[in-house]
Amino acid sequence: MQGTLLGGSAEHAQALVSGECRAIIARARGEADEVYEQLAASQADLSHEIGRLRAALEPLLRPDPLALPPDAEATCTRLAAKLAELARRVTRLEQRIARIKGLLATGT
């Protein structure tokens, strides 16, 4: 009778320990799942905030297409002078071409 009682006690103790181990593992999994969900939510929130901040900073980081450089007026003046010089040269070339065509047409 004592062997049965001891055997039963050992089995009972083993069942209690196994049950307690399963309960501990289940609680740990539940806590791990909860922590994971919180971290995933935090990551989603942070990603959203980063996107919002990136969108807010983007206009500040790229130059305004309508903004002119500080020396824009001087640059425009130089370009206008170069354009006028090129226009004079083109006019002279056109006059030379017209003279050459005239010479070729007369054969001299």
Is residue 75 a contact partner of residue 69, using CB atoms and an 8 Å limit? yes
pLDDT at position 8, please? 66
Say whether both 11 and 39 belong to one domain: yes
Say whether both 59 and 16 belong to one domain: yes
- For 1-108, where are the alpha helices, taking DSSP H only? 2-61, 72-106
Q: What range defines the domain where residue 72 resides? A: 68-108
Sign of dihedral through CA atoms 86, 91, 92, 98?
A: positive
pLDDT at position 2, please? 43
Tell me how long the chain is. Answer: 108
Q: Is the pTM of this model over 0.95?
A: no
pLDDT, tens digit, 9 for 90 and up, residues 43-90: 888 888 888 888 887 877 777 767 777 888 899 899 999 999 999 999
Q: How many domains does the chain have?
A: 2
Say whether both 16 and 56 belong to one domain: yes
pLDDT at position 1, please? 40
Distance from C-alpha of 21 to C-alpha of 14, rounded to nearest angstrom? 10
With cut-offs at 50, 70 and 90, classify the pLDDT of residue 108. Answer: low
